[in-house]
Structure 1
Amino acid sequence: MSTEVNQLHINADAEALQKIISNLLINAFKFAKSFVEIKISLPDLKDDPQKTVSVSVSDDGVGIPQAELQHVFTPFFKVSSPEHKIKNIGGTGIGLSLAKALAEKHEGELNVESKPGTQTVFMLTIPYEQRPGSAIQEPDVELVDDTVRPGILIVEDDLNMLDFIVTNFKGEGYHTFSAANGAEALKILEVQPVELVLSDVMMPEMDGMTLCKKIKNSIDFSHIPVILLTAKGNSDAELQGIESGADAYVVKPFKWKHITALVKNLLETRSRLKEKFNQQPLADIATITTNTHDKKFIETITSIVEERIDDYRLSVEELSKEMAMSRSTLHKKVKAVTGHVPNEFIRLIRLRMAAKLLISGEYNISEVGYKTGFNSPSYFTRCFIQQFKLTPSEFLEKHQNGDLGKVDELLVNDSINKKK
């Protein structure tokens, strides 16, 4: 390793930089013959008015054919040379595309030069001074821009079966991702918007049971439903699948209609839970979650916001620190569980508390708005209508007439008493 820099404070996200450098080093060590070199340098300020720092990672490995250099940052691309195929077994082709996306989010660049059979050099260049008026935050990297069709990850080591399932799901209108084992699947989950996982059980490197346990025990992925496929039709195997946290367990051979019905039901169930929670001010917090990890996650966020319910300055940055999560991880998790980005969910918690305060009858509408962090009665009313399709006074009238259904008054009062 060589460096021209003793110490440099870079206005960048540490976690994102770690991901970039880790990906470059993993690739270098994978293909190097005898050495990997890291070099940190500062270009001449005369030629570099933006003030950037460069980190290069080079190796003396097999190199990349010139015709394929332009594609190395494309998601899921793999170099086709025999040497790469041998050394890149199990690779997904995601790491470099993620690294480039993260570099560009920091207003930097990630480039590559290579001489086949001699050397490959990846060069990361990022500004070390923030531009006036800009703000560096960890980006939400979505390598697939597909917000309409649900994303399904199929994990299957039998290529014929994998092709069959992927083709049929695409025909059903879903967006698909594929992996040959659980280890590959976890890498895809880190960077792609997956809403459901369909996985075989028997696979090399990481089987479906292990994958399911890792998904259900991870705060990042625990909200994702998992369907396991297996050739084992005995009750012990099925029990093991359910104990791993799987939402459904299907024995091969299966009818395709059975699979599509399961997938549709799981996705629609989660959609209905979000809708109920978002439109019913007094719905229990547990309504929106399907497991203890997500329930605790939402309860913790709700508790943090309710403790500062009258503080309109509470920000997503402060919430992410309180949750000990990066901003992008918090964004993805809250969006996946609730259907809202964090700012919207904070506002929803305020509005739910406002509904409870209205029912208590202790405050008028303007007072309730101020007590729940809205800086004007008109803004509070506008947000309340947008969320619940009723004005605060209409909501109170319907509740008093019993039109909102049965309400657990004790729960409402307990929530209010905690804020007094």
Structure 2
Amino acid sequence: MPRVTLTAFVDEEALRKILTNLIHNGIKYADNHVHIKLLPFNSDDIMFNIEFRNDGEIIPFDKREKIFEPFYRLNESDKDTGTGIGLPLSRSLVELHQGSLSLVYTEEHRNIFLLSLPIFQEQSLDIKPFLEENYRTEERGMYTKEEEATEKPVILIVEDNKEILAYLNKELKINYTILRANNGAEALEILDRDNVQLVLTDIMMPIMDGIALCKRIKTDILYSHIPVIFLTAKNALDAKIQGLKIGADAYIEKPFSMEFLMVQLRNILNNRKIIKNYFTNSPSAHLAEINVSAPDKDFISLLNTVIYDNISDIDLNVEELAKLMNMSRPTLYRKIKGLSDLTPNELINISRLKKAAELLTQKEYNITQISTMVGYTVQSNFSRDFHKHYGMPPSTYIIEHSKQ
């Protein structure tokens, strides 16, 4: 019987990734033998099938779908340093081809992965956008104005493994604006030009590793307000202690649960928002009371002093404040936004109103005098802003405070 040549419509790069991952998976978990076989087909078939067999530990039937979940380990004690996303990525690429990838069972003591792909495609394949989105890292940083307008928290992922970087980007981009870097040096370039709310970084990377990056972030006044989460396979206790000593906010081991990572991200960002909201809405709360790192305490102390020393200056704005703080306007903006979730001008205005509330409770000055003392030239504007912020006019605030 003459041999039929198989000609199928596939994306070359995607198929190469699928086969590479399945071959690597078979070799990694085999005891002695791996067999790869193109199953028989004829000219009438609409699918072609490839089997990948190995004689390693048999995967339990109830785990046949779990193994396609990112970072899943069959044994909790498995400390293999692989990325843990080869099978999930392969299945995603197979499904884009309208095919299937599954673990099948026979009477033989073998793990058998069956790859089935259509010989023809009803529509032309366009795998390139999927691969570009998941693997391109040249366009790191500088999110677009459209993304900025969504007001999603901005997270910088620092990871030299492209597959893990792709997976994290895919899972997190729904709730966050994602910036990406391959090492600590690239991350610092992004931090210099973008307003980042949190850094999620690997530890072991070339050029500048995660420990060096975290140390730089936590000791540099330009970045010290940014939370850092370590996400790494380096799970030795001394590595964890070292990371936490230099100020890391959390330490998550690979393989990890995406749900657990999501909760950590949400908690860290929400806890900071609660503190910031308390400062904004509580008349007695001062900027200096925000719980921050040591470098930021000095910055906040100086910022607090500068603002209140110039509170009566009607021309006090972001440009003037930047000069007084000896900082560039963009740097001051990012720093204040990161610490207080306010723009510099919003912070100045709120500080004026907080000072006014303090003076009103002392009953040493009338409302007109106080409005001038906190930088207002028109009392009606002061009363309007005070009412908007505290929910009552200055005169009512005096009465309510007296009752308390």
Band of TM-score, shorter chain = 0.5 to 0.7
Say if 1:289 and 1:337, in contact at 8 Å, map to a contact too. Answer: no
- For 2:335, the equivalent position in structure 1 comes to 333
- For 2:358, the equivalent position in structure 1 comes to 356
Q: 1:316 to 1:286 in 2, by over 3 A?
A: closer
Describe how 1:20-99 pairs up with structure 2 within 5 A.
Answer: 92=138
- Per-residue CA deviations over 1:4-39 (Å, capped at 9, x if unaligned) read xxxxxxxxxxxxxxxxxxxxxxxxxxxxxxxxxxxx
Q: CA deviation at 1:279?
A: 0.8
- For 1:166, the equivalent position in structure 2 comes to 169
Describe how 1:281-360 pairs up with structure 2 within 5 A.
Answer: 281-360=283-362
- For 2:268, the equivalent position in structure 1 comes to 266
Q: CA deviation at 1:371?
A: 1.3
Distance 2:310 2:362 in 1: 19
Q: CA deviation at 1:193?
A: 2.8
> Structure 2 counterpart of 1:261, which letter?
V
Distance 1:174 1:313 in 2: 36
Distance 2:140 2:168 in 1: 22
- For 2:148, the equivalent position in structure 1 comes to 145
Q: CA deviation at 1:143?
A: 9.4
Pair 1:277-2:279 in alignment: yes
Distance 1:388 1:298 in 2: 24
Cα RMSD after superposing both structures: 2.5
Distance 1:320 1:209 in 2: 31
Pair 1:210-2:222 in alignment: no
Q: CA deviation at 1:211?
A: 0.6
- Aligned residue for 1:206, secondary structure, equals coil
- Aligned residue for 2:392, secondary structure, equals coil
Distance 2:173 2:241 in 1: 31
Say if 2:147 and 2:177, in contact at 8 Å, map to a contact too. Answer: no
Distance 2:240 2:216 in 1: 18
Say if 1:142 and 1:192, in contact at 8 Å, map to a contact too. Answer: no
Distance 2:238 2:365 in 1: 58
- Per-residue CA deviations over 1:296-351 (Å, capped at 9, x if unaligned) read 22221221121122221233322211111111211222222222222221121111
Q: 1:143 to 1:300 in 2, by over 3 A?
A: farther
- Aligned residue for 2:248, secondary structure, equals coil
Distance 1:316 1:168 in 2: 37
Say if 1:154 and 1:199, in contact at 8 Å, map to a contact too. Answer: yes
Q: 1:235 to 1:299 in 2, by over 3 A?
A: same
Distance 1:300 1:366 in 2: 29
Q: 1:292 to 1:345 in 2, by over 3 A?
A: same
- Per-residue CA deviations over 1:86-114 (Å, capped at 9, x if unaligned) read xxxxx95569x89xxxxxxxxxxxxxxxx
Could you list the runs of 4 or more consecutive aligned residues of structure 1 that deviate by over 3 angstroms after TM superposition?
Answer: 91-95, 141-147, 286-289
- For 2:398, the equivalent position in structure 1 comes to 396
Q: CA deviation at 1:187?
A: 1.1
Q: 1:183 to 1:146 in 2, by over 3 A?
A: farther
- Aligned residue for 2:173, secondary structure, equals helix
- For 1:418, the equivalent position in structure 2 comes to none
Distance 1:190 1:92 in 2: 17
Q: CA deviation at 1:285?
A: 2.4
- For 2:107, the equivalent position in structure 1 comes to none
- Aligned residue for 1:219, secondary structure, equals coil
Say if 1:278 and 1:387, in contact at 8 Å, map to a contact too. Answer: no
Q: 1:143 to 1:186 in 2, by over 3 A?
A: farther
Q: CA deviation at 1:204?
A: 0.7
- For 2:258, the equivalent position in structure 1 comes to 256
- For 2:4, the equivalent position in structure 1 comes to none
Q: CA deviation at 1:290?
A: 2.1
Distance 1:370 1:159 in 2: 58
Distance 2:298 2:386 in 1: 26
- For 2:203, the equivalent position in structure 1 comes to 201
Say if 2:313 and 2:375, in contact at 8 Å, map to a contact too. Answer: yes
Percent identity over the alignment is 41
The range that moved more, 352-361 or 295-304, is 295-304
Say if 2:288 and 2:304, in contact at 8 Å, map to a contact too. Answer: no
Match of 1:376 among 375, 378, 384: 378
- Aligned residue for 1:204, secondary structure, equals coil
> Structure 2 counterpart of 1:285, which letter?
L
> Structure 2 counterpart of 1:203, which letter?
M
- For 1:233, the equivalent position in structure 2 comes to 235
Q: 1:146 to 1:204 in 2, by over 3 A?
A: farther
Say if 1:215 and 1:221, in contact at 8 Å, map to a contact too. Answer: yes
- For 2:187, the equivalent position in structure 1 comes to 185
Q: Which runs of 5+ in 2 are unaligned?
A: 1-136
Distance 1:325 1:372 in 2: 24
Distance 1:143 1:244 in 2: 35
Distance 1:388 1:219 in 2: 32
Q: 1:329 to 1:166 in 2, by over 3 A?
A: same
- Per-residue CA deviations over 1:206-241 (Å, capped at 9, x if unaligned) read 110111111112222111111012223332211101
> Structure 2 counterpart of 1:269, which letter?
N
Q: 1:93 to 1:234 in 2, by over 3 A?
A: closer
Say if 1:92 and 1:184, in contact at 8 Å, map to a contact too. Answer: no
| TM-score when normalising by structure 2 | 0.62
Q: CA deviation at 1:196?
A: 0.9
Q: Which runs of 5+ in 1 are unaligned?
A: 1-90, 99-140, 403-420
Whichever of the two has the greater Rg, that structure is: 2
Size of the aligned set, in residue pairs, is: 270
